[in-house]
Amino acid sequence: MNLDQKEHCINCANKSPLFKLLKPAELEIINKGRHEVIYNTGETIFKQGSPLSHVLSFNYGLAKIHLQGAENKNIILRLVKPVEFVSGMGMFLDNRNQFSLTALEGSSVCFIDKENFKKVMQHNFVFTEAFIRHNQTFQSYNLKKLMNLNLKNAKGKIADALLYLSNEIYKNDSFTSHLSKSELAELSGISKESAFKVLSEFESDGIIAITSNKIEIKDKRRLELISYEG
């Protein structure tokens, strides 16, 4: 982890599109007390249950949002990529982080003081509406994922995870995954043993090909059908 002071929010090329809704004076408020932190692969950005004092603006890299349960069992909700905001229900609830965030590769994050962020929200309705919409998109995704985790079988869950990585994260049917097979199991909400078995079956059936951490989806229509039938 490395602490640094990034250039002023007004001039930053990596800021969220939501910042374009702010006036220069409001960006001054956002910039006040803000700091940038550089994380290495595997480092914890914040931990579930820790105090929530900042809103995060993700500048570059990749990270995983995950819930930590008993006996070190985790569920990965989704991945975070530039240039997203990361906040949680705790911002207006109990001032606690409701999940953990861990870097999957070298990443840069700007920490924005929560109270300064709220101050801007109180004076800029358009920005506030866009921020709420951003958060509700995340909540909508979580509800859909919860339903799929309860209703789909192991093959359907793995298919969902592979399609998510292909369509939403890497934008390609052939990609080098930043997730280990164990983390892919956590993203799918199944055991490691079940994940390894399904991935092996998908390879044998010619649906995917895996070489080290590179995944190629060779029959996307079939994978989409498995996801649909679940």
Whether 95 and 52 have beta carbons less than 8 Å apart is answered as yes
Does residue 15 carry a pLDDT above 70?
no
Residue 61: which region, alpha, beta or left (left: phi > 0; alpha: psi -120 to 50)?
A: left
Q: Which fold has domain 150-229?
A: Arc Repressor Mutant, subunit A (1.10.10)
Domains of the chain, by residue range, sit at 2-135, 150-229
pLDDT tens sequence across 31-75: 988 889 999 999 999 999 999 999 999 999 999 999 987 777 889
Place of tokens 């919409």: 133
Residue 114 DSSP class? H
Distance CA 229, CA 175 (A): 25
Q: Residue 81: which of 121, 108, 50 has the closest Cα?
A: 108
pLDDT tens sequence across 141-169: 888 888 888 899 999 999 999 999 999 99
Q: Residue 22: which of 135, 127, 132, 129 has the closest Cα?
A: 127
The tokens of 30 are what?
A: 């956002």
CATH classification (class only), 2-135:
mainly beta
Q: Residue 228: which of 142, 153, 138, 150 has the closest Cα?
A: 153
Predicted local distance difference test score (pLDDT) of residue 10? 62
Distance CA 110, CA 38 (A): 9
- What pTM was estimated for this model as a whole? 0.89
The tokens of 78 are what?
A: 């989704």
Q: Residue 56: which of 68, 44, 72, 67 has the closest Cα?
A: 44
Residue 47 DSSP class? -
- Tell me the residue type at 50: S
